[in-house]
Each structure stands twice: as C-alpha cells, then as structure tokens.
A and B are shown apart, each in its own frame.
Chain A
Amino acid sequence: MKRNVIVFVMLVVVIMGMLAAGKYLDRNRKHGPIKLVGNVQNVAAPNFDLPALDGRRVKLSDFRGQAVLLNFWATWCPPCKIEMPWFVDIQKQYGKDGLVVLGVAMDDTESAKIAEFTHEMGVNYPVLLGTDQVSDDYGDVRSLPTTFYIDRNGNIVTKAVGLLGRQEIEDDVKKALSSSYKPAKVEPSRAEAVVNAAQAKEATQ
C-alpha cells in the first residue's frame, strides 16, 4: 500500500514536470513569420489561396479594403451550424458597409456534401475548402468554430474561439469595419466579384 502511494506521488511529480516543460518549450518554440501564435490582435492575417465551393480560387488579399469575417467551421460542428444563419444575416446587413463573410470548411469530406449542407443552411457567402496549411498558418485551428475578424488593411482585430452570442459577433464586425483603409501602391481586388457571384448563385437557387 505504502509502495503504491510512493509510486503514485512520483508519477504525479513526473507528469507535472512534463507538463511544465511542455508549456515552456511551446512558449519558446520558433515559428515561421506567417504563422499566428499567441495574441493575434493587430497581426497581419496570413494570406491564403483556397478553392471555393463554386470552383474558383479565392485569396484573402482579394478583399483588401474590406473587412473580413473569416470563419473556420465544419459540417459536423453543431455550434458552427448555430452561427451560420447569423452570418447570413450579418452579410446582408453589413455587406453594403464593406464586410465580407468567408467560411472555411475544415471537413475531411467531398465538397459536394459541404455544398449540400451550405445550400440547406441558405449560406449567401463564399465557402472555401480548408487545408492543413491554412489551419497551421492561422495557429493550428482545431477548435471549431474559430473566427477571425480582419480589418480593411488585412490586420486581425480579434479572434473568437467557440460559439459566441450574436451580439458579440456583431460588435466584433463593427470593430473590423471601423478601420480606415490605407491602400498600398498596388491594390488587387476581386472581392466584389466573388461575393456578388456567391450572392447571385444563392438568388438563382
């Protein structure tokens, strides 16, 4: 009995030591310059080039000058499903102010199933097919939903992990929209075309 207690205490000490070492190493781990770690506020959102459900490719940089709500989600995620109708409304309400909602589906399934799901949910914004690379670039997105609010200059205003209330989402959208755009010398923008195409497709369905 006494031996069991000693073994138990030793195991606890070893486990705690390993956890502390892991935390320390993680904090000091070297990351590439484009990967998000820790506090992401005011950090430039990593660019991506992802396929959308309609077949076109979409880059984050296409939307420079507009605020972006970048939502990582999956079909198997009930809280993500709860947020979707809110995002549909928010896209309608704030689209004219320069907001773009982008969904990034992290499903490991064929795109037809994702398309069917988004159609049933009445999604009116572009849905992109996520990859391990984009997840890694955005800080290893494993908890869904995870949403990044990006200002008009491509900087992250805030990051939300898990399901929030609609009012909190709208507050974060307003923060992202409140930024003023400081255009670079070259200003690529296919943003309106992509959003309009998604909305036109939705209208015809």
Chain B
Amino acid sequence: MKRLLFGLASFFLAALAFAQTPGDRQPSVILAPLGNVQLRAGGAADLTLDFRIGADFHINSNKPRADYLIPTVLKLNPPEAVEVADVKYPAGEDMTFSFAPNEKLSVYSGDFSISTVLKAPASAAAGTYPVKGELRFQACDRSACYPPKSIPVQFQVTVVKK
C-alpha cells in the first residue's frame, strides 16, 4: 500500500511537471511514507527516510562545494522522550553545467535516503510520540534554479519499557 501511495505521489508530480511549460516548472521533493518506529527505553533504533526528487531536477547535497550554495538539511524536533543521536546524509554526485564544465557541484537527484539513529533515554515514559521536522533544500534543473524550500517531515515513535 505504501509503495502504491509513493508511486501515486510520484505519478502526480510527473504529471504536474508535464503540464507546465519551461520556466513554470517547480521542483518537488517527496518523502516516502514512514511507519511507526518502535524504540525501547534506553535503546536505539535506525530510521531511514527515503526521498524522491522530481524528474529533471537536482538539489544540493548536504555538503555542496561552495559556501554560497544552500545545503540540503534535515531538521528534526523530537519530544523529550526521543533523541536524534545521528543524521547521516548520502554523498552527493558530481554535476556540471554545460557552460561551466570546470565548476563541479555536489548534488542529489532521483531517489536519496537520509539515515538517522533515534534513542530513548532509560527514563523515557512509554507512549507514542510525534517527531516533527523539515527537509530544507534548494533545487535546480539543467539551466535554472529555484528558491529554497522546505517540506514537512513527520513520523511517530513508540517507546516501550524494557
């Protein structure tokens, strides 16, 4: 069912891109649906967030090659019972514009995943907690760039006692 939803969302974005003329097109990044994360109090769990970038667009990686570029950043605001212990971004792929072959950019395109490690303190009370945040990115296509944008990221963590 999740795959169907992700596929439908991708289809919708592709249709949207098709319906727009060049210059009107707007980049899109979508997050694959996330399940409920189970976490034992005092323990840790890995959570991978899968994103898909609209066809023909790319976004800067988390470590773009120049200071003036806006990196892709995941910001999560967990409740007290949950801690975001680590966030790992994938390495970007090299890309150049045809008019400046010497200026390499580090970008994500297509699908990419961000890995996180979530922890619950031993003192965390059992319960289900929402974790909210956002992915901030700045997208371009082969000839133009678009203003920085954020999409919401939200999932639930269920903390169980040992």
Which A residues fall within an 8 A CB radius of B?
A: 4, 8, 11-12, 15-16, 19, 22-23, 74-82, 106, 108, 117, 142-146, 161-166
A166→B100 CA distance, assembly (Å): 12
- Chain A contacts for B16, CB-based, 8 A: 19
B69 pairs with A161, CB closer than 8 A: no
> How many residues from B make CB contacts under 8 Å with A?
28
- Chain A contacts for B103, CB-based, 8 A: 78, 81-82
Whether B91 is near chain A, meaning CB under 8 Å from some CB there, is no
Known A-B contacts A79-B97, A79-B140, A161-B22; A12 and B11 likewise in contact (beta carbons under 8 Å): yes
A132→B70 CA distance, assembly (Å): 20
A16→B12 CA distance, assembly (Å): 9
B68 pairs with A142, CB closer than 8 A: no
A162 pairs with B147, CB closer than 8 A: no
B4 pairs with A161, CB closer than 8 A: no
A77 pairs with B140, CB closer than 8 A: yes
Known A-B contacts A117-B68, A162-B23; A79 and B11 likewise in contact (beta carbons under 8 Å): no
- Chain B contacts for A164, CB-based, 8 A: 143
B4 pairs with A4, CB closer than 8 A: yes
Known A-B contacts A8-B4, A146-B23, A163-B99; A79 and B15 likewise in contact (beta carbons under 8 Å): no
Chain B minimum-CB-distance residue to A11: B8
A75 pairs with B68, CB closer than 8 A: yes
Shortest CB-to-CB span from B91 to chain A, Å, is: 19
A8→B5 CA distance, assembly (Å): 10
A81→B65 CA distance, assembly (Å): 14
Besides the known contacts A76-B145, A77-B144, 18 further A-B residue pairs in the complex with CB atoms under 8 A apart:
A19-B15, A75-B68, A76-B70, A77-B145, A78-B69, A78-B103, A78-B140, A80-B145, A82-B99, A82-B103, A106-B147, A143-B23, A143-B25, A143-B145, A161-B22, A162-B23, A162-B141, A163-B99
A82 pairs with B145, CB closer than 8 A: no
Partner of B105, one of A78, A143, A163: A78
Whether B26 is near chain A, meaning CB under 8 Å from some CB there, is yes
Chain A minimum-CB-distance residue to B98: A163
A80→B12 CA distance, assembly (Å): 30
Shortest CB-to-CB span from B114 to chain A, Å, is: 21
Chain B minimum-CB-distance residue to A7: B4
Pull 24 A–B residue pairs with CB atoms less than 8 Å apart, ordered by A: A4-B4, A11-B8, A12-B11, A15-B11, A19-B15, A22-B19, A78-B97, A78-B105, A78-B140, A78-B145, A79-B143, A79-B145, A82-B103, A108-B148, A117-B68, A143-B23, A143-B25, A145-B144, A162-B23, A162-B143, A163-B97, A163-B143, A165-B99, A166-B99
A164→B23 CA distance, assembly (Å): 13
Whether B155 is near chain A, meaning CB under 8 Å from some CB there, is no
Chain B minimum-CB-distance residue to A140: B24
A134→B113 CA distance, assembly (Å): 37
Chain B minimum-CB-distance residue to A22: B19
B146 pairs with A142, CB closer than 8 A: yes
